Amino acid sequence: MKYDQIAVLIPAYKPDERLITLVDELRAAGFTRIVVIDDGGGQAYRHIFDALDGKADVLVHEVNRGKGVGLKTGLEYIRKWPGVGVVTADCDGQHTPADCRKIADALLAEPDALILGSRDKRQMPPRSKAGNTLTCGVFALLTGLRISDTQTGLRGLPACALERFSRLDGDRYEYEINMLIDASRIPLPVREVTIETIYIDNNSSSHFHAIRDGLRIYALMFRQAGKFLCSAVLCTLLEYLLYVVL
């Protein structure tokens, strides 16, 4: 099979039936290795994961531990398959099977690179666009690596980096930015692939908390690249937080 050397990793916290649909469509698209993380949603969501029996490997956190921990749990599990790269996808319908295939194809073509599925900011809701644009600018200032969508969850992770990525700091959404910081340091080639920009109900199903998780992301960036810290960046961060609050 074309995607035998690719595993799809889906962290899921309190998902709905869209997760079942995604797994079914991924299997139809040729993905045979699918790993889903039940991140402590509880008994109320057990039927969703039970419906994946025989379709995906489901790993369970008894309590919610965050997206970053979920991804690392999955990476540790996938490492038992030598030479297998990983496509990470969200469970809420914002990442299509077609785009997962685009990321997988790019990873197969360049198996030692980090592949990012980049969205069109012009199609994002205003708050998401503002936050993403600012984060991209600060990230470029601190690391020297210019990326057009630092917050994308649809990524292709090379097999050679899984052990390293599985040990990075970050329990929640800040883990994904730490992955990019680490890639800039190795250095690991980073490639961007254009994907659909999908926001369902203005992203109402997202568990991202703008202030709490935003502060975690920026705190990690400044901690990891503290020598580049300057007053201009702090002012920009303050403007972003005021925008979110107001």
pLDDT at 129 over 90: no
97-115 pLDDT tens trace = 999 999 999 999 999 999 9
Closest to 149 in 3D by CA, of 127, 184, 177, 168: 177
pLDDT at 32 over 50: yes
Amino acid letter, 183 = A
**How sure is the predictor about 227, in pLDDT bands with cuts at 50, 70 and 90?**
very low
Closest to 95 in 3D by CA, of 113, 119, 123: 119
**How sure is the predictor about 83, in pLDDT bands with cuts at 50, 70 and 90?**
very high
64-77 pLDDT tens trace = 999 999 999 999 99
The pLDDT of residue 228 is 45
Amino acid letter, 75 = L
- SS3 (DSSP) at 6: strand
Amino acid letter, 127 = R
What is the pTM for the complete model shown?
Answer: 0.83
Q: For residues 111 and 172, what is the distance between their CA atoms, to the nearest angstrom? A: 26
Q: For residues 30 and 117, what is the distance between their CA atoms, to the nearest angstrom? A: 19
Average pLDDT over residues 211-215: 65
Closest to 128 in 3D by CA, of 99, 150, 159, 96: 150
